[in-house]
């Protein structure tokens, strides 16, 4: 088999080796599709240090089960198209027993601490394999993991119906936050970023957008509040690289509002605690998702696949991984890049 191995920053090396032996309770998956995540890009560029090379990156995995080694699992699973949940939790620790597998004390993540999907084959625990419908576009299921993150955010947001939410960012996961919050919690969502290409896609999916590349901060305030005195109850700090996004979020949100932080802040952003105190704001971090969210995510994509395919803008062969990583980083007209066999 061939694996594309991250060996050092800015370097992915194709390496050919035998398919490893299959441990108990594991499945061998032949890759058909793998999405390129922001984590893959940040690791490749050296911004994210969690992954120790050599490692096969790639966490957004779809393929076919070739073999399983699990006496308790029906062999009919062999030959079935599946999506793979990249989060491997132990199921035994206190957090897992509470149903909070995203806080598992022994967590592993495919493409991070475990070899992932930039390869011909990947070995994964049988419990992380989710059979897909026979029909329908399999490529959309590469979005199952970011959609599960959006479902997790929705499950922890405290919202009143008819509230308003601003999301700072327009990458696929941000759009998915917006679509899920609007559909499941019924709130009005506004996406703010400085990338007209991605904002157009968000708009085509029915989300309201404000383009910072053509509007200054005062204009944002006007656009958000002019002819509409409804306040912003929730701000999600998403993937946007706009400067001082947390300060912008604090300015936008109403007194007693909530701010959800989904990523590390850029540029050593400093914030004034005084504003947080005066407004009595609530801050919450958002980390991964639990197993239930992944199950729900696969069901959602099966029912709404037309919404999701418009998020995929680039389809490349697996050998084009490094090109794909560069496209995510440098090409403004890019939403989601996936690799296809
Ligand atoms: Zn655990």
Kindly report the CATH class assigned to 2-132+311-340.
Answer: alpha beta
Rounded to an integer, what distance in angstroms lies between the CA atom of residue 184 and that of residue 165?
Answer: 13
**What global pTM score does this model have?**
0.94
State the distance from the centre of ligand 1 to the C-alpha of 100, rounded, in angstroms: 8
Instruction: Using the predicted structure, report yes or no on whether residue 188 has a pLDDT greater than 60.
Output: yes
Instruction: Using the predicted structure, report yes or no on whether residue 216 has a pLDDT greater than 60.
Output: yes
Let me know if 98 is exposed, middle or buried by CB neighbors in 10 A (0-12, 13-18, 19+): exposed
State the distance from the centre of ligand 1 to the C-alpha of 125, rounded, in angstroms: 14
The two tokens of residue 8 are 């050092």
State the distance from the centre of ligand 1 to the C-alpha of 185, rounded, in angstroms: 29
Helix (H) or strand (E) holding 39: helix 38-45
Check: CB of residue 139 under 8 Å from CB of residue 62. yes
State the distance from the centre of ligand 1 to the C-alpha of 98, rounded, in angstroms: 9
Check: CB of residue 318 under 8 Å from CB of residue 339. yes
Domains 2-132+311-340 and 148-285 share a fold: no
Share above pLDDT 70 across residues of the chain, in percent, rounded to a whole number = 94
pLDDT tens string 160-176:
666 789 999 999 999 99
State the distance from the centre of ligand 1 to the C-alpha of 46, rounded, in angstroms: 28
Instruction: Using the predicted structure, report yes or no on whether residue 246 has a pLDDT greater than 60.
Output: yes
State the distance from the centre of ligand 1 to the C-alpha of 56, rounded, in angstroms: 23
pLDDT tens string 255-301:
999 999 998 876 677 888 898 999 999 999 999 999 999 999 999 99
pLDDT tens string 190-199:
999 999 999 9
**CA 194, chain centre distance (Å):** 20
State the distance from the centre of ligand 1 to the C-alpha of 92, rounded, in angstroms: 5
State the distance from the centre of ligand 1 to the C-alpha of 292, rounded, in angstroms: 15
State the distance from the centre of ligand 1 to the C-alpha of 102, rounded, in angstroms: 8
* E strand spans, 169-319: 188-193, 208-211, 232-237, 253-261, 282-285, 312-317
Would you list the domain boundaries of the chain? 2-132+311-340, 148-285
pLDDT tens string 58-77:
999 999 999 999 988 777 89
Kindly report the CATH class assigned to 148-285.
Answer: alpha beta
Confidence bin at 133 (pLDDT 50/70/90): confident
What was the pLDDT predicted at 222? Answer: 67
């Amino acid at each position: 088999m061939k694996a594309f191995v991250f060996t050092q920053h800015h370097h992915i090396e194709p390496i050919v080796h035998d398919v490893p032996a299959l441990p108990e309770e594991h499945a061998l998956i032949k890759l058909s599709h793998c999405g390129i995540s922001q984590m893959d890009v940040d690791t490749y560029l050296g911004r994210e240090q969690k992954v120790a090379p050599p490692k096969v990156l790639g966490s957004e995995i779809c393929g076919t089960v070739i073999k399983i080694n699990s006496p308790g699992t029906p062999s009919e699973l062999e030959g079935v198209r599946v999506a793979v949940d990249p989060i491997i939790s132990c199921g035994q620790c206190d957090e897992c027993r509470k149903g909070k597998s995203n806080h598992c004390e022994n967590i592993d993540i495919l493409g991070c601490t475990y070899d992932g999907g930039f390869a011909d084959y990947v070995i994964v625990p049988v419990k992380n394999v989710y059979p897909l419908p026979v029909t329908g576009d399999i490529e959309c299921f590469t979005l199952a993991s970011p959609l599960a993150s959006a479902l997790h955010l929705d499950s922890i947001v405290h919202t009143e119906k008819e509230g308003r939410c601003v999301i700072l960012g327009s990458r696929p996961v941000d759009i998915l936050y917006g679509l899920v919050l609007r559909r499941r919690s019924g709130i009005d969502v506004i996406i703010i970023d400085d990338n007209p290409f991605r904002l157009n896609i968000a708009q085509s999916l029915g989300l309201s957008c404000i383009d910072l590349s053509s509007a200054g901060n005062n204009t944002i305030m006007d656009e958000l509040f002019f002819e509409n005195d409804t306040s912003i109850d929730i701000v999600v700090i998403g993937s946007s690289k706009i400067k001082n996004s947390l300060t912008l979020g604090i300015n936008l949100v109403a007194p007693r509002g909530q701010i959800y932080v989904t990523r590390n802040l850029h540029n050593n952003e400093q914030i004034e605690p005084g504003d947080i105190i005066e407004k009595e704001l609530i801050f919450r971090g958002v980390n991964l998702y639990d197993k239930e969210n992944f199950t729900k995510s696969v069901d959602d994509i099966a029912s709404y696949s037309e919404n999701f395919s418009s998020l995929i803008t680039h389809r490349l062969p697996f050998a084009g991984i490094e090109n794909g990583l560069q496209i995510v980083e440098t090409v403004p007209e890019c939403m989601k890049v996936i690799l296809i066999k």
